[in-house]
Structure 1
Amino acid sequence: MTVSRRLLLGLLLLLPSLAMAEDFPAKPIKLIVPFPAGGPNDIIARVIGQRMSEIAGQPVVIDNRGGQGGVLGTDAVAKAAPDGYTIAISSAGALAISPSMEKVAYDTLADLTPVTLVATVPEMLVVATNVPVQNMSELVALAKAQAGKLNFASSGPGSLPHLAGELFKLTANIDIVHVPYRGAAPAVNDLLGQQVQMTFLDLPVLLPQIKAGALKPIAVGSPDRAPTAPEVPTTAEAGFPALRIENWYGMVAPKGTPKEIVDKLHRLATQAMTDAAVKEKLAAQGATLIGDSPEHFRQFIADETAKWAKVIKDAGVETAK
């Protein structure tokens, strides 16, 4: 086959995808949320999805598919048709942590197409009110004085709060004991009941109890203080700059989604994030909107995967792989 014929054949094969991209979106978009309704992932997706729908002139339909810490819903996107009509806003756990903790049916960067990092949410370190500390240095001193006696709760083995606690142990050279729960709510309940001493969790989950004085905030894992809790120092301000811990949520599409459609999804999502009402609603949830490029988000996922894989290895966390 001559060069000119190969070029012509390539162009003919490209034309259908170009035509599809030109009309995109021509029907409703399914936005999978890999967690049950009502949580931070769901709230962020609904706010962003609603504004995307208004911009695109097509419904963005939320499809909650909880299970296995976000893995099942994320896998559903990896197996979907690569036409841009099935996408997800997934989390740090499913995209960057679970592949190092357990057997999952997808390879994040091989089977999914990053669209944009949507938002970050800081993890907050809090202690029960009966723990006799007021700041990070006092907490570390207490943990060293009572090695192996203080417990930290998490929302489950391999969850971001679990690995946050493990990173705390490594960074501060302390011995605290992991107590896993089936979700954030029971972990908070036992913290309020003083059955455990501390936890790292998404700031929005803890904020009502902090405001009510039912939990004592120690530090926030974001690079800057949280606008919803400006009185709480960052972990860096508390002397632990390596203890940077933020949950994050990003939009992904199936592998093989045409670049033209990925670009359109990116424009829809980032335009939605510039809306004042969207910013206000998500700021109230403690979320910082990002809206980076697909290329930057891909590198971000790679960096986060490497970071948490190292924590898992260095802390000797048991995996199911």
Structure 2
Amino acid sequence: MPILAALALAGAASLTATTVAQAADAYPSKPIRLIVAYPTGGISDTVARALADRLSAQMGASVVVENRAGAGGSIGIDAVAKAAPDGYTIGFASTSPVTLNPHVGRVNYDPQHDIAPVMSVMYSPVLVIATQSFTGQSFQDLITQSRAKPGSVRWATSGLGTVGHVMLEQVKAKSKADVTLIPYKGGGQQMNDALGGQFEVMSTNASPQLTGQMQAGKLRAIAVGAPKRIESLPNVPTMAELGYQKANLTSTFGVFAPGKTPAAIVNRLNAELNKALTSPEVRERLLRDGEVPTGGTAAQFAAAIHTEYDDNARIVKEAGIKAD
């Protein structure tokens, strides 16, 4: 009986492997749902839709975008985590829902097991923006004023526990400057108040709206979180250049699948996404507003996420960051 049982198990495993391989070969045979973890109209939404159009053309199956915004991307990622792991539901989000949000608040998924990284699509620089209420000219002026008059410089973020908030905490830890945190619940009101001069500076991702307001002279970039200076703002120094290496943060965006999605399907999606990322329409959509295309293998994306998860755990603990 033990021998028969072993043979039966071996046969079942072989049949399962064959079924998975056949499913991967036939993939996709129906429309693919791409969940975008943010509202319509933003840079993440427009990039995701450009990718969906290219994937539809390349793969011969419709890729339908569905926006599931809220909780800093966690609602959209939760929907991906709970979907069938068959490649027909994937998600587009920043890495924060799997590397940062779990450390600052409760999420309803296990970021280590319920989500499969597919490909890094882009990184979005985090800009430090001066409003018309800021009397200084440079980032160093921000630090100088904050030291001379503690609490006088107000720094707005799109929320507690966001990348922009983490950037501020790293700046405060390094400089010992007393900067007042103004946390918003989303970027819309933050932008409106920035234009109204309700605070001196804010940290925010690059976006078409931000680009337009800077071109109009209503807002001004004084620093950027990025590996190197960005082409659209060549005179703006990176946080690393300014001496704040730990605050030199970007928001990485990518595509995710449910955790148990077969490797063959993840690899197929990765190959198609890398191909789509090289298309002129997608690259131009990214570069127009300062976003930087990335790409690479699923394994590389997973390794980067693992490192970011561990780094964020340390940063959040040291700074005592908590979400609402």
Corresponding residue to 1:160 among 158, 163, 177? 163
Write the deviation string for residues 96-148 of structure 1: whole angstroms up to 9, x where unpaired: 11111111111112111111111101000111223222222222111111112
The within-5 A match list for 1:1-321 is 1-2=2-3, 6-204=9-207, 205-319=209-323
**CA spacing shift, 1:101–1:139, aligned 2, 3 Å:** same
Contact kept, 8 Å, 1:30 with 1:86, in 2: the verdict is yes
Residue 6 of structure 1: how far off its partner (Å): 4.7
2-structure distance, mates of 1:284, 1:319: 32
Counterpart CA distance in 2 for 1:172 and 1:269 is 41
Corresponding letter in the other structure for 2:204: L
8 A contact 2:168–2:247 mirrored in 1: no
**113-122 vs 200-209, which moves further:** 200-209
* CA distance in structure 1 between the partners assigned to 2:253 and 2:141 by the alignment: 32
Q: Which runs of 5+ in 2 are unaligned?
A: none
The offset of 1:310, in angstroms, is 2.1
TM value normalised by structure 1: 0.95
SS at match of 1:62: strand
Q: Determine if contact 1:134/1:216 at 8 Å carries over to the other structure.
A: no
Which secondary structure does the structure 2 equivalent of 1:122 belong to?
strand
| Contact kept? 1:225, 1:234, Cα under 8 Å | yes
Residue 303 to residue 309, structure 1, CA distance change in 2 (3 Å): same
With over 3 angstroms needed to count, the CA separation of the structure-2 counterparts of 1:318 and 1:9, relative to structure 1, is: closer
Q: Aligned with 1:108: secondary structure?
A: coil
Query: What is the SS of the residue equivalent to 1:220?
Result: strand
Q: Within 1, Cα distance between the matches of 2:322 and 2:264?
A: 42
Question: Quick one: distance in 1 between partners of 2:255 and 2:13?
Answer: 30
SS in 1 for 2:122: strand
**Among the aligned pairs, what percent are the same residue?**
34
- RMSD of equivalent CA atoms: 1.6
- Using the TM superposition, give the Cα deviation of residue 245 of structure 1 relative to its aligned residue in structure 2, in angstroms: 1.1
Q: Distance in 2 between matches of 1:154 and 1:248?
A: 17
Q: Give the match's secondary structure for 1:46.
A: helix
Whether contact under 8 Å (1:171, 1:243) holds in the other structure is no
Alignment partners' CA distance in 1, 2:280 and 2:24: 28
CA separation in 1, counterparts of 2:9 and 2:322?
52
State the SS of the aligned residue for 1:109.
coil
Report the alpha carbon displacement of residue 280 of structure 1 after superposing the two structures with TM. Answer: 1.0
- Displacement of 1:319: 4.4
Q: Could you report, residue by residue, the CA deviation over 1:28-76 in whole angstroms, capped at 9, with x for unpaired residues?
A: 1000001111112211211111111110011000011112121111101
Distance in 2 between residues matched to 1:256 and 1:238, nearest whole Å = 43
Distance 1:120 1:203 in 2: 10
For the residue of structure 1 that corresponds to 2:119, the secondary structure is strand
Q: Structure 2 CA distance, aligned partners of 1:296 and 1:246? A: 17
